[in-house]
Amino acid sequence: MTQRVLVTAGGNGIGLAVTRAFAATGARVHVADIAQDAVARAVEAEGVTGSVTDVADAGSVDALFADLRRELGGLDVLVNNAGIAGPTAPVDELAFADWRAVVDVNLHGTFMVTQRAIPLLKESDAGSIITMSSVAGRFGYPNRIAYSSTKWALVGFAKTLAMELGRFGITSNTIHPGAVAGERIDRVLRGRAEQEGTSLEEQRAAALANQSVKAFTDPADIAALAVFLAGPHGRSISGQALPIDGDSKSTV
Protein backbone atom coordinates (compact mmCIF):
# COMPACT_ATOMS: atom_id res chain seq x y z
CA MET A 1 0.00 0.00 0.00
CA THR A 2 1.30 3.44 -0.93
CA GLN A 3 0.88 5.59 2.16
CA ARG A 4 -0.75 9.00 1.90
CA VAL A 5 0.81 11.35 4.44
CA LEU A 6 0.11 14.89 5.66
CA VAL A 7 2.95 16.71 7.44
CA THR A 8 2.22 20.10 8.99
CA ALA A 9 5.16 22.51 9.06
CA GLY A 10 6.71 20.03 6.68
CA GLY A 11 9.03 22.42 4.84
CA ASN A 12 11.71 23.12 7.45
CA GLY A 13 13.74 21.40 10.17
CA ILE A 14 12.20 18.27 11.65
CA GLY A 15 9.16 18.58 9.40
CA LEU A 16 11.25 18.61 6.23
CA ALA A 17 13.22 15.58 7.47
CA VAL A 18 9.91 13.77 8.09
CA THR A 19 8.61 14.76 4.65
CA ARG A 20 11.73 13.47 2.91
CA ALA A 21 11.82 10.25 4.97
CA PHE A 22 8.25 9.30 4.05
CA ALA A 23 8.79 10.28 0.42
CA ALA A 24 11.89 8.06 0.33
CA THR A 25 9.69 5.06 1.21
CA GLY A 26 7.53 5.77 -1.83
CA ALA A 27 4.76 7.49 0.13
CA ARG A 28 2.77 10.33 -1.36
CA VAL A 29 3.24 13.29 0.99
CA HIS A 30 1.32 16.55 1.24
CA VAL A 31 3.06 19.34 3.14
CA ALA A 32 1.31 22.18 4.93
CA ASP A 33 3.54 25.10 5.85
CA ILE A 34 2.91 28.75 6.57
CA ALA A 35 5.91 29.81 4.45
CA GLN A 36 5.67 29.73 0.66
CA ASP A 37 9.42 29.16 0.27
CA ALA A 38 9.26 26.19 2.67
CA VAL A 39 6.47 24.60 0.64
CA ALA A 40 8.44 25.19 -2.55
CA ARG A 41 11.50 23.52 -1.03
CA ALA A 42 9.52 20.50 0.15
CA VAL A 43 7.76 19.83 -3.14
CA GLU A 44 11.09 19.47 -4.93
CA ALA A 45 11.08 15.84 -3.74
CA GLU A 46 9.30 13.31 -5.91
CA GLY A 47 5.81 12.46 -4.68
CA VAL A 48 5.44 15.61 -2.54
CA THR A 49 2.72 18.21 -2.96
CA GLY A 50 1.98 21.16 -0.71
CA SER A 51 -0.24 23.98 0.51
CA VAL A 52 0.59 27.29 2.15
CA THR A 53 -1.37 26.94 5.39
CA ASP A 54 -1.81 28.74 8.70
CA VAL A 55 -2.98 25.93 10.99
CA ALA A 56 -4.33 28.49 13.47
CA ASP A 57 -6.83 29.75 10.88
CA ALA A 58 -9.90 27.58 10.30
CA GLY A 59 -10.42 28.78 6.73
CA SER A 60 -6.82 28.04 5.85
CA VAL A 61 -7.14 24.53 7.31
CA ASP A 62 -10.34 23.95 5.29
CA ALA A 63 -8.46 24.98 2.14
CA LEU A 64 -5.63 22.61 3.06
CA PHE A 65 -7.99 19.64 3.22
CA ALA A 66 -9.58 20.57 -0.10
CA ASP A 67 -6.07 20.49 -1.59
CA LEU A 68 -5.25 17.23 0.19
CA ARG A 69 -8.35 15.46 -1.10
CA ARG A 70 -7.55 16.60 -4.63
CA GLU A 71 -3.88 15.61 -4.44
CA LEU A 72 -4.00 12.42 -2.36
CA GLY A 73 -7.62 11.30 -2.44
CA GLY A 74 -7.42 10.17 1.18
CA LEU A 75 -5.09 9.95 4.16
CA ASP A 76 -3.24 7.23 6.04
CA VAL A 77 -0.79 9.18 8.20
CA LEU A 78 -1.06 12.57 9.90
CA VAL A 79 2.10 14.11 11.33
CA ASN A 80 1.20 17.08 13.54
CA ASN A 81 4.48 18.97 13.50
CA ALA A 82 3.39 22.62 13.36
CA GLY A 83 4.28 24.60 16.46
CA ILE A 84 5.90 27.80 17.67
CA ALA A 85 8.00 28.48 20.75
CA GLY A 86 6.89 32.02 21.60
CA PRO A 87 9.05 34.56 23.41
CA THR A 88 11.42 33.89 26.28
CA ALA A 89 9.96 35.51 29.40
CA PRO A 90 8.98 34.65 32.98
CA VAL A 91 5.29 34.05 33.64
CA ASP A 92 4.65 37.40 35.25
CA GLU A 93 6.13 39.26 32.28
CA LEU A 94 4.58 37.24 29.46
CA ALA A 95 1.96 39.17 27.52
CA PHE A 96 -1.35 37.38 27.16
CA ALA A 97 -1.21 37.95 23.40
CA ASP A 98 2.05 36.00 23.29
CA TRP A 99 0.56 33.18 25.37
CA ARG A 100 -2.49 33.09 23.10
CA ALA A 101 -0.40 32.99 19.92
CA VAL A 102 1.42 29.85 21.08
CA VAL A 103 -1.82 28.17 22.18
CA ASP A 104 -3.51 29.08 18.89
CA VAL A 105 -0.87 27.30 16.81
CA ASN A 106 0.26 24.46 19.06
CA LEU A 107 -3.13 23.41 20.42
CA HIS A 108 -5.94 24.97 18.42
CA GLY A 109 -4.10 24.37 15.16
CA THR A 110 -3.33 20.76 16.01
CA PHE A 111 -6.95 20.22 17.02
CA MET A 112 -8.38 21.70 13.82
CA VAL A 113 -6.07 19.71 11.54
CA THR A 114 -6.64 16.46 13.44
CA GLN A 115 -10.42 16.89 13.59
CA ARG A 116 -10.58 17.25 9.81
CA ALA A 117 -8.15 14.37 9.27
CA ILE A 118 -10.04 11.80 11.36
CA PRO A 119 -12.82 11.01 8.85
CA LEU A 120 -10.16 10.33 6.20
CA LEU A 121 -8.06 8.24 8.58
CA LYS A 122 -11.10 6.12 9.45
CA GLU A 123 -11.26 5.13 5.79
CA SER A 124 -7.65 3.91 5.88
CA ASP A 125 -6.66 0.33 6.56
CA ALA A 126 -3.80 1.50 8.80
CA GLY A 127 -4.34 5.03 10.07
CA SER A 128 -1.72 6.73 12.21
CA ILE A 129 -1.48 10.07 13.99
CA ILE A 130 1.95 11.24 15.12
CA THR A 131 2.10 14.45 17.15
CA MET A 132 5.38 16.22 17.78
CA SER A 133 5.74 17.19 21.41
CA SER A 134 9.12 18.03 22.97
CA VAL A 135 11.42 17.43 25.88
CA ALA A 136 9.48 20.44 27.21
CA GLY A 137 6.46 18.13 27.24
CA ARG A 138 8.25 15.95 29.81
CA PHE A 139 9.83 18.60 32.07
CA GLY A 140 9.11 22.19 33.04
CA TYR A 141 10.77 24.87 30.94
CA PRO A 142 11.58 28.11 32.78
CA ASN A 143 10.75 31.25 30.80
CA ARG A 144 8.85 29.22 28.17
CA ILE A 145 5.60 28.44 29.99
CA ALA A 146 3.33 28.70 26.94
CA TYR A 147 5.50 26.34 24.92
CA SER A 148 5.90 23.82 27.73
CA SER A 149 2.21 23.93 28.66
CA THR A 150 1.10 23.22 25.10
CA LYS A 151 3.64 20.43 24.63
CA TRP A 152 2.38 18.75 27.83
CA ALA A 153 -1.21 19.20 26.65
CA LEU A 154 -0.43 17.42 23.38
CA VAL A 155 0.39 14.28 25.36
CA GLY A 156 -3.15 14.15 26.76
CA PHE A 157 -4.50 15.03 23.34
CA ALA A 158 -2.69 12.12 21.68
CA LYS A 159 -3.51 9.66 24.48
CA THR A 160 -7.21 10.51 24.22
CA LEU A 161 -7.08 10.06 20.46
CA ALA A 162 -5.52 6.62 20.98
CA MET A 163 -8.39 5.62 23.24
CA GLU A 164 -11.11 7.02 20.98
CA LEU A 165 -9.74 5.86 17.65
CA GLY A 166 -8.16 2.50 18.44
CA ARG A 167 -11.35 0.67 17.48
CA PHE A 168 -10.95 2.12 13.97
CA GLY A 169 -7.41 0.77 13.73
CA ILE A 170 -5.89 4.23 14.14
CA THR A 171 -2.79 4.63 16.32
CA SER A 172 -1.81 7.88 18.06
CA ASN A 173 1.53 8.71 19.67
CA THR A 174 3.70 11.67 20.60
CA ILE A 175 7.40 12.08 19.82
CA HIS A 176 9.49 14.12 22.24
CA PRO A 177 12.70 15.46 20.68
CA GLY A 178 15.33 17.09 22.84
CA ALA A 179 17.95 19.47 21.45
CA VAL A 180 18.05 18.85 17.71
CA ALA A 181 21.17 19.39 15.64
CA GLY A 182 20.90 22.21 13.13
CA GLU A 183 20.69 25.96 12.68
CA ARG A 184 18.02 26.47 15.34
CA ILE A 185 20.00 25.05 18.28
CA ASP A 186 23.13 26.88 17.10
CA ARG A 187 21.14 30.12 17.05
CA VAL A 188 19.73 29.49 20.54
CA LEU A 189 23.14 28.66 22.01
CA ARG A 190 24.75 31.64 20.32
CA GLY A 191 22.11 33.92 21.86
CA ARG A 192 22.70 32.43 25.31
CA ALA A 193 26.43 32.91 24.92
CA GLU A 194 25.97 36.57 24.04
CA GLN A 195 23.61 37.14 26.97
CA GLU A 196 25.86 35.43 29.50
CA GLY A 197 29.23 36.51 28.14
CA THR A 198 30.37 32.95 27.51
CA SER A 199 31.54 31.08 24.44
CA LEU A 200 29.45 28.99 22.07
CA GLU A 201 31.52 25.95 23.05
CA GLU A 202 30.73 26.50 26.74
CA GLN A 203 27.02 26.76 25.99
CA ARG A 204 27.12 23.60 23.88
CA ALA A 205 28.85 21.70 26.69
CA ALA A 206 26.31 22.96 29.23
CA ALA A 207 23.41 21.88 27.01
CA LEU A 208 24.86 18.40 26.54
CA ALA A 209 25.58 18.04 30.27
CA ASN A 210 21.88 17.23 30.80
CA GLN A 211 22.06 14.28 28.41
CA SER A 212 23.49 10.80 28.82
CA VAL A 213 24.31 10.70 25.09
CA LYS A 214 26.59 13.65 24.38
CA ALA A 215 25.26 14.60 20.98
CA PHE A 216 22.30 16.56 19.69
CA THR A 217 19.59 14.55 17.96
CA ASP A 218 19.77 14.19 14.19
CA PRO A 219 16.46 15.25 12.55
CA ALA A 220 16.76 12.20 10.32
CA ASP A 221 16.53 9.96 13.40
CA ILE A 222 13.30 11.66 14.48
CA ALA A 223 11.94 11.19 10.97
CA ALA A 224 12.91 7.51 11.00
CA LEU A 225 10.98 7.06 14.25
CA ALA A 226 7.91 8.65 12.69
CA VAL A 227 8.14 6.35 9.67
CA PHE A 228 8.45 3.32 11.98
CA LEU A 229 5.45 4.31 14.09
CA ALA A 230 3.32 4.68 10.97
CA GLY A 231 4.62 1.46 9.46
CA PRO A 232 3.58 -2.18 9.72
CA HIS A 233 5.74 -2.87 12.77
CA GLY A 234 4.24 0.06 14.72
CA ARG A 235 0.63 -1.06 14.63
CA SER A 236 0.60 -2.12 18.32
CA ILE A 237 2.26 1.08 19.54
CA SER A 238 -0.38 3.61 20.53
CA GLY A 239 -1.00 6.10 23.30
CA GLN A 240 2.74 6.38 23.93
CA ALA A 241 5.04 9.34 24.57
CA LEU A 242 8.38 8.48 22.96
CA PRO A 243 11.45 10.54 23.91
CA ILE A 244 14.29 10.88 21.41
CA ASP A 245 16.62 13.15 23.32
CA GLY A 246 19.81 11.34 24.36
CA ASP A 247 18.26 10.62 27.77
CA SER A 248 17.76 14.27 28.74
CA LYS A 249 17.34 14.98 32.45
CA SER A 250 15.72 18.42 32.01
CA THR A 251 15.15 21.20 29.51
CA VAL A 252 17.91 23.39 30.93
Active site residues: 147
Q: Which of 147, 80, 113, 130 is nearest to 241 (CA)?
A: 130
The residues with which 211 forms a beta bridge, in sequence order, are 248
Provide φ and ψ at 94, rounded to 5°.
-80, 125
- Give the span between the Cα atoms of 206 and 42, in whole angstroms: 34
246 close to 178: Cβ distance less than 8 angstroms: yes
Q: Which of 227, 31, 3 is nearest to 125 (CA)?
A: 3
Q: Which helix (H) or strand (E) holds 161?
A: helix 145-165
Q: Which of 68, 66, 39 is nearest to 52 (CA)?
A: 39
| Neighbour-count burial of 121, counting CB atoms closer than 10 A to its CB (0-12 exposed, 13-18 middle, 19+ buried) | buried
- Give the span between the Cα atoms of 128 and 131, in whole angstroms: 10
- Give the span between the Cα atoms of 108 and 160, in whole angstroms: 16
- Give the span between the Cα atoms of 60 and 50, in whole angstroms: 13
